[in-house]
Amino acid sequence: MDSNRIHKRKQAILDGRTTLGIELGSTRIKAVLMDDEYSPIAIGNHDWENRYIDNIWTYTLEDIWQGVQASYQTMAESVKDEYGVTITTLGAIGISAMMHGYMAFNKRGELLVPFRTWRNTITGPASEKLTKLFQYNIPQRWSIAHLYQAILNQEEHVKDIDYLITLEGYVHWKLTGEKVLGIGDAAGMFPVDIHTKDFNDRMIELFDELIKPEGFSWKLKDILPKVLVAGEPAGVLTEEGAKLLDTSGNLKAGISLCPPEGDAGTGMVATNSVGRRTGNVSAGTSVFAMVVLERELTKVHPEIDLVTTPAGDLVAMVHCNNCTSDLNAWVSLFQEYSEAMGYKVDTNTLFSVLYNKALEGDADCGGLLSYNYYSGEHITHFNEGRPLFVRLPDAKFNLANFMRVHLFTALGALKMGLDILFKEEKVVVDQITGHGGLFKTKGVGQRIMAAAIKAPVSVMEMAGEGGAWGIALLANYMLHKEEGETLDQYLTNRVFAGMAGVRVEPDQKDLDGFEHFMKRYRAGLPIERAAVEFLR
């Protein structure tokens, strides 16, 4: 890096013209410091894993804060090493995290039950009843489904709820004292009205009437956060918040924060996919596709969620709990084998070799079949999962087909959901952008995804920084938006102007092969169901 750029970035840090984005993903917490030219200049990472305790996927509060602090500290140390300065202030901060889930607190601010993450599929009865009541799809992972299921279960803690929030809303609350949430993630707690940019009043009334016999002292609106849209101020870093974020004590209070947003919303921002007829696919531990709609859907589809962009525009979302976890486990097995044979193999090289090997396989994976279900999968109606690989004796069992089938199955459930959107609802998209771990090996994940969704897939270099960069952009938008400048205009005209992506068109052989694979995938679901039932 030339000395002039280093000097400019150093001065931006000293002047407090940088923005910080922190995103709590399912396996990594990432802090990205961005300069005033939208470029990441320092990154801090902290790896973490969810725990499976008493049949609940969860993270502890200690896990959360240790991870947030570690990612911030690593980023700050990187700044010190690279630019020779200590961070004491910032232009703005944004917090993002996994959407949905259930964090319920009492009046004393105490967590009433362990955090129930999006990954749990334990709210089936509540989801079904609320979907019918509202005539609006309420997925199992939504906060309101968790709340109503707790009521159906007659859980003791429900009467004591004072505040119900998602993960990033919780972190934001502790940093600022503000009980607010960006509309994109608010729409994953409870349905929102895209006209009022707030929770849907009619449905709130229906819910309150539904639970009236329980005699709770609270009404639903009393315990939900205030909904904010992109660009609105969302509070400032308090003295306590500054100490909580930066344990070294160098960071000063008073820094502005933008509305906290879910990873779906920040993924849209990081891929310039907030305009209508645009979409993005995030593929990592879980996978979800987002398409910004021109109109409302014609009917309720249990496989499709309706959420919003951070600006409040309607979005169709297909979310699957499982994507690359099983694929990564197989790659780790190959790495273990290589080391046992005396070969030290770089992890990135191993992924690249194995992913590219998949492109040599038969179009339909040679008759192999795999399910990547580490946990339940609502699109295919599973409450639990069992990773599974199966084949006929005469299937073409080789390394290329083996890797190809694991890439295909990572997108199998997603394809079932998207087929509803594109084939039944006739939704049109002009642009799909991919981001997440599946796309790290150049060209391979894109090609498989293009075959799954039957559309061109682009990957932008900067999108690799993911949602942490996306929430940093939202913080910057709050600080610097001009009068009447929409989020779409800000991203297109300022951030992504002249930024070229790599575009991959769907290949006809891959398209045909994926369709053949999907027939096998659908027909084989009873095998997966038997594994869940009998493998204990």
Separation CA 221–CA 75 (nearest Å): 38
CB atoms within 10 A of CB 388: 19
Separation CA 93–CA 90 (nearest Å): 7
Separation CA 303–CA 308 (nearest Å): 16
| DSSP SS3 for 371 | strand
Is the four-CA dihedral 461, 98, 191, 219 of positive or negative sign?
negative
C-alpha of 148 from chain center:
23
Which contiguous run of DSSP H or E holds residue 370? strand 369-371
**Tens place of pLDDT for every residue, the chain, 536 residues?**
678 888 899 999 999 999 999 999 988 999 999 999 999 999 999 999 999 999 999 999 999 999 999 999 999 999 999 999 999 999 999 999 999 999 999 999 999 999 999 888 899 999 999 999 999 999 999 999 999 999 999 999 999 999 999 999 999 999 999 999 999 999 999 999 999 999 999 999 999 999 999 999 999 999 999 999 999 999 999 999 999 999 999 999 999 999 999 988 998 999 899 999 899 998 888 898 999 999 999 999 988 989 999 999 999 999 898 999 999 999 999 999 999 999 999 999 999 999 999 999 999 999 999 999 999 998 999 989 999 999 999 999 999 999 999 999 999 999 999 999 999 999 988 878 988 888 888 899 999 999 998 888 988 765 456 789 999 999 999 999 999 999 999 999 999 987 767 889 999 999 999 999 999 999 999 999 999 999 98
What pTM does this model have?
A: 0.83
What ranges in 308-443 are assigned the alpha helix state H? Answer: 325-340, 347-358, 399-409, 412-419
Separation CA 304–CA 316 (nearest Å): 6
Residue carrying the six token digits 């959107």 = 421
Separation CA 219–CA 50 (nearest Å): 31
Contact assessment for residue 81 and residue 68, using Cβ atoms and an 8 Å cutoff: no
Give me the amino acid identity at 120: N
Contact assessment for residue 504 and residue 446, using Cβ atoms and an 8 Å cutoff: yes
Residue carrying the six token digits 């910032």 = 90
